[in-house]
């Protein structure tokens, strides 16, 4: 039966008998379309099969399930032990993840590559180091895993082990030949900083025993936040981060490094005054110095908007110059602080913005650690670039009326700590230059603090008890702020 055209509405369709495709009655147009459709279907089916095959690994799948019998059977049939899953994970990654030494040994004997990476650039040894799994790390190192291989962000195996805190894992990597003072490239931190930041005094001790340097300072805070990246000259920020690392290594300040390189301006570009940048007094200065302009070949001709953003504190470049002791003080890790001081850390060291360990501990309400620092030589009147002193910060901490995010509870009563500061020589008449950190916009409390003393700050909150204590220790109630505000 031959096909015949028929109409359904305005659309031309074709009717076929079951055998019409094999007869000459089928038109050449019909046959051509059918051939194209069939070929396309076969192509797509094959392509899908290739894609599935590219991300398929029977051995890794069995290891993921923890099915050692299936893994053994597959290996006996010469299945590829290094075949990756779709995310690049191989069977050895899963053995480490499951902390299965028997499975790892089975895979390594079958030829598993110890330095294989997944899609993110993670090796099995990276994982074992992060987990602090000493037995697994030892197996991988014996199999030839590289202990100096960097992670996707430049982090080292030793940093991952320090983050975990297992001192045995740290010692194992050091014996394998890693450099204990290596700095990662984004923020210039070391394994010692990672251990202190995670409050692992045993790890801090192991690193110090291996000659980790507590004086090393971190670099800048790195690239801008993602939501600002389209607006910011990232090359300038990266150049500033590199410059901070160079300055820290040479024992220079950031400004001195700018001078050495012959780069002009506060940011390595055109200097901006507060009026030109339309910034109120004290605004945008609480972090590290702004990012420097990149070298001419990497810098767009017109990047003034970038400089404005950097100046106003909108770019993620604040901070820098942190040390292990500053981080231990920030986290309230008294035991690590004791170890670092015993190893020669300067109790009055400062970050780029001038934060001392004492200021850092005080700001985060770790008053017992702060008292220990004072008892071991910390200067109670040393201020940062905002001219915030420990006494001013403690007064502010005591009188926060509320906030949009939680703040840590003090480990000692605020007033008791303030009395300790005063008893150790804190000057109640020192004046702040910059506003303290704003914790909420729903308040009538905040005012321009430039020139304010601890007495003015206490008066602002009506803290009569503290006002009396400050007066007993020589506070001058007549000192005004830079804007003429007085305690009264």
Better-predicted residue by pLDDT, 464 or 262: 464
What band does 37 get if pLDDT is binned at 50, 70 and 90?
A: low
Superfamily of domain 58-209: Ankyrin repeat-containing domain (1.25.40.20)
- pLDDT confidence of residue 202: 98
Does the pLDDT value for residue 273 go beyond 70?
no
Task: Read off the pLDDT of each residue in 361-378 and give the average, rounded to a whole number.
Answer: 97
- pLDDT confidence of residue 443: 58
Distance CA 387, CA 397 (A): 16
Place of tokens 């003072």: 181
| Whole-prediction pTM | 0.71
- pLDDT confidence of residue 321: 92
Better-predicted residue by pLDDT, 266 or 98: 98
- pLDDT confidence of residue 444: 57
Average model confidence (pLDDT) across the chain: 79
- pLDDT confidence of residue 229: 46
Distance CA 244, CA 236 (A): 12
Q: Which residues contact 397 (CB under 8 A, 6 or more apart)?
A: 362, 363, 365, 407, 410, 414
Task: Read off the pLDDT of each residue in 26-39 and give the average, rounded to a whole number.
Answer: 49
Better-predicted residue by pLDDT, 220 or 38: 220
Q: What percent of the chain has pLDDT over 70?
A: 70
What band does 402 get if pLDDT is binned at 50, 70 and 90?
A: low
Task: Read off the pLDDT of each residue in 257-276 and give the average, rounded to a whole number.
Answer: 56
Q: Could you tell me the residue ranges of all domains in the chain?
A: 4-54, 58-209, 226-311, 353-472
What band does 40 get if pLDDT is binned at 50, 70 and 90?
A: low
Task: Read off the pLDDT of each residue in 309-329 and give the average, rounded to a whole number.
Answer: 67
Does the pLDDT value for residue 194 go beyond 90?
yes
What stretch of H or E contains 12?
Answer: strand 11-15
Task: Read off the pLDDT of each residue in 437-459 and give the average, rounded to a whole number.
Answer: 77
What number of residues does the chain have?
A: 488
What band does 5 get if pLDDT is binned at 50, 70 and 90?
A: very low
CATH 3.30.465.10 fits 353-472, yes or no: no
Task: Read off the pLDDT of each residue in 1-18 and give the average, rounded to a whole number.
Answer: 33
Q: Tell me the three state secondary structure of residue 331.
A: helix
- pLDDT confidence of residue 301: 40
- pLDDT confidence of residue 358: 98
- pLDDT confidence of residue 441: 58
- pLDDT confidence of residue 359: 97
Distance CA 192, CA 217 (A): 11
Q: By the 8 A CB rule, do 124 and 116 touch?
A: yes
Task: Read off the pLDDT of each residue in 175-181 and give the average, rounded to a whole number.
Answer: 97
Least confident of 178-187, 303-312, 450-459: 303-312
Buried b (16+ CB within 10 A) or exposed e, 293-327: bbeeeebeeebeebbbbbbbbbbbbbbbbbbbbbb
Task: Read off the pLDDT of each residue in 146-172 and give the average, rounded to a whole number.
Answer: 96
- pLDDT confidence of residue 83: 94
Better-predicted residue by pLDDT, 467 or 18: 467
Better-predicted residue by pLDDT, 50 or 197: 197
Per-residue pLDDT tens digits for 200-250 = 999 999 999 999 999 999 987 544 444 444 555 556 766 776 787 788 778
Does the pLDDT value for residue 67 go beyond 70?
yes
Does the pLDDT value for residue 45 go beyond 90?
no
**Residue 184, CA distances (Å) to 36, 160, 163, 273, 318 in order:** 56, 12, 14, 34, 18
- pLDDT confidence of residue 442: 57
Pick the closest to residue 243 from 287, 293, 194, 284 (CA basis).
Answer: 293
What band does 407 get if pLDDT is binned at 50, 70 and 90?
A: confident
């Amino acid at each position: 039966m031959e096909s015949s055209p028929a109409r359904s509405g305005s659309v031309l369709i074709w009717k076929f008998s079951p055998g019409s495709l094999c007869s000459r009655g089928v038109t050449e147009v019909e046959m051509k379309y059918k051939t194209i459709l069939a070929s396309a279907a076969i192509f797509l089916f094959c392509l899908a099969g290739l894609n599935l095959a590219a991300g398929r690994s029977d051995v890794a799948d069995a290891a993921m399930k923890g099915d050692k019998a299936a893994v053994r059977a597959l290996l006996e049939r010469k299945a590829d032990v290094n075949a990756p899953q779709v995310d690049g994970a191989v069977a050895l990654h899963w053995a480490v993840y499951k902390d299965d030494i028997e499975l790892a040994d089975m895979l390594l004997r079958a030829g598993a590559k110890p330095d294989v990476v997944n899609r993110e650039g993670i090796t099995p040894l990276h994982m074992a180091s992060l987990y602090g799994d000493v037995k697994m790390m030892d197996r991988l190192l014996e199999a030839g895993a590289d202990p100096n291989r960097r992670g996707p962000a430049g982090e080292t195996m030793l940093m991952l082990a320090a983050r975990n805190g297992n001192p045995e894992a740290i010692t194992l990597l050091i014996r394998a030949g890693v450099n204990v003072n290596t700095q990662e490239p984004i923020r210039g931190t070391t394994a010692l900083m990672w251990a202190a930041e995670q409050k692992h005094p045993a790890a801090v001790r192991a690193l110090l025993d291996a000659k980790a340097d507590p004086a090393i300072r971190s670099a800048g805070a790195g690239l801008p936040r993602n939501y600002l990246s389209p607006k910011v000259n990232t090359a300038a920020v990266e150049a500033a981060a590199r410059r901070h690392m160079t300055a820290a290594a040479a024992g220079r300040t950031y400004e001195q490094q700018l001078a050495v390189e012959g780069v002009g301006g506060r940011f390595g570009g055109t200097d901006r005054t507060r009026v030109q940048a339309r910034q109120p007094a004290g605004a945008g200065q609480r972090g590290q110095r702004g990012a420097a302009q990149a070298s001419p070949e990497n810098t767009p001709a017109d990047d003034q908007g970038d400089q404005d953003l950097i100046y106003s504190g909108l770019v993620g470049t604040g901070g820098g110059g942190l040390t292990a002791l500053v981080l231990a003080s920030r986290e309230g890790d008294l035991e690590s602080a004791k170890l670092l001081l015993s190893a020669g850390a300067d109790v009055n060291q400062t970050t780029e913005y001038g934060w001392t360990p004492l200021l850092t501990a005080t700001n985060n309400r770790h008053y017992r650690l702060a008292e220990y620092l004072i008892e071991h030589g910390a200067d109670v009147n040393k201020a940062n670039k905002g001219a915030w002193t420990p006494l001013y910060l403690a007064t502010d901490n005591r009188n926060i009326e509320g906030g949009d995010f939680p703040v840590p509870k003090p480990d000692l009563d605020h007033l008791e700590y303030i009395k300790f500061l005063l008893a150790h020589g804190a000057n109640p008449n020192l004046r702040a230059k910059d506003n303290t950190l704003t914790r909420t916009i729903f308040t009538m409390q905040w005012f321009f603090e430039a020139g304010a003393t601890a007495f003015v700050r206490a008066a602002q909150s009506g803290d009569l008890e503290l006002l009396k204590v400050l007066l007993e220790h020589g506070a001058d109630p007549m000192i005004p702020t830079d804007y003429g505000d007085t305690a009264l």
